[in-house]
C-alpha cells in the first residue's frame, strides 16, 4: 500500500514520543522512530512491527542540520513521501537559578529544544511542499506560556517553539501543510528525573486536576492533529495541562 501516510517522531524511543509513535502506528501510519538512542529506537520499531504496524528506526541528532536532512531523506527514500512530523525531542536542562547557569547550560537547551525544531520543520516542509499536504505537530510546554522558575532556558525555548508554530502556521496556511503545537503540563516521563524534585512539586501544585498527565493522553491529541479530521486549525497551541493554562 504505497498510499499509506508516513510519520517521523523525533525523540520517539521513550516517553511522550514513544506513546505518539505507537498511537500513530495504530492509526495505520508508517512511523519512523528518530532518536539518538538507535538501539532503543530499533527495539521499539520492532515491537510496533510485531503488532502488525510498519515502523523503522533512525539515529537522529536534531541539532545537526545535515543529520536532520538525512533523517527526512531516509523516510522519503523508503516510503516515498513524508506526511507527518512530530517534533518531540527535547531536554529539560539543568534546574538552577539564572545566576548559577553557564552559557553552555542555556545554549544546549536552546539548541535541542528550539533550533532542533526549526531544523526539523525546515527539512519536513521541503519534503511536504511538492505534495501540497502535511501535518507538523510541535511538542511545546505550558512552561512556554507561563514559565517555570529554575527552568529559564527550557521555558524560553518552549516559548520560542510556540512562536515558531504560530509564524509557520500562518506562512504555510494556504499550502496544505498545517502546523500546530501541544503544550503539556507535567507528564509522567523520564524527563522528570532531570528536574529538581522541588521544581516538579511546584509544577504539580499548579495543576487544578491534581495529577500529572500520561504520555498516552498527549498521544491522543497528537493523533487528531495528525489526522484529516484536523482541517481548520493551524498556528494553534492546544493545552494539555489539567487546567493549569491561564491563557
Catalytic residues: 154
Report the DSSP pairing between strands 30-35 and 134-139.
unpaired
Handedness of CA 205, 23, 62, 46 (dihedral sign): positive
Secondary structure of residue 238 in the 3-state scheme: strand
Under DSSP, the state recorded for 213 is B
Q: How far is CA 140 from the centre of its chain?
A: 7
Of the CA atoms within 13 Å of residue 127, those in its CB half-sphere come to: 29
> What is the spatial distance between Cα 42 and Cα 15, in angstroms, rounded to a whole number?
15
Q: Which residues, 6 or more positions from 102, have their beta carbon under 8 angstroms from its beta carbon?
A: none
Q: Are 216 and 173 in contact (CB under 8 A)?
A: no
Amino acid at each position: 500500500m504505497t498510499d499509506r501516510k508516513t510519520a517521523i517522531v523525533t525523540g520517539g524511543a521513550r516517553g511522550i514520543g514513544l506513546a505518539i509513535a505507537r498511537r500513530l502506528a495504530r492509526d495505520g501510519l508508517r512511523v519512523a522512530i528518530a532518536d539518538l538512542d538507535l538501539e532503543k529506537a530499533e527495539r521499539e520499531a520492532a515491537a510496533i512491527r510485531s503488532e502488525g504496524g510498519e515502523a523503522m528506526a533512525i539515529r537522529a541528532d536534531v541539532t545537526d542540520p545535515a543529520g536532520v536532512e538525512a533523517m527526512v531523506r531516509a523516510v522519503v527514500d523508503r516510503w516515498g513521501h513524508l506526511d507527518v512530523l512530530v517534533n518531540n525531542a527535547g531536554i529539560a536542562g539543568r534546574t538552577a537559578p539564572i545566576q548559577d547557569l553557564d552559557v553552555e547550560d542555556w545554549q544546549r537547551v536552546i539548541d535541542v529544544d528550539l533550533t532542533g525544531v526549526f531544523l526539523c520543520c525546515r527539512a519536513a516542509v521541503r519534503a511536504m511542499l511538492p505534495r501540497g499536504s502535511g501535518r507538523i505537530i510541535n511538542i511545546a510546554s505550558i512552561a512556554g506560556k507561563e514559565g517555570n522558575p529554575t527552568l529559564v532556558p527550557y521555558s524560553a525555548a518552549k516559548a520560542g517553539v510556540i512562536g515558531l508554530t504560530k509564524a509557520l502556521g500562518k506562512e504555510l496556511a494556504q499550502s496544505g501543510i498545517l502546523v500546530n503545537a501541544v503544550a503539556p503540563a507535567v507528564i509522567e516521563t523520564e524527563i522528570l528525573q532531570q528536574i529538581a524534585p522541588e521544581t516538579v512539586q511546584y509544577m504539580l501544585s499548579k495543576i487544578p486536576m491534581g495529577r500529572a498527565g500520561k504520555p498516552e493522553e498527549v498521544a491522543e491529541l497528537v493523533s487528531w492533529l495528525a489526522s484529516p479530521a484536523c482541517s481548520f486549525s493551524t498556528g494553534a497551541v492546544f493545552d494539555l495541562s489539567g487546567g493549569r493554562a491561564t491563557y
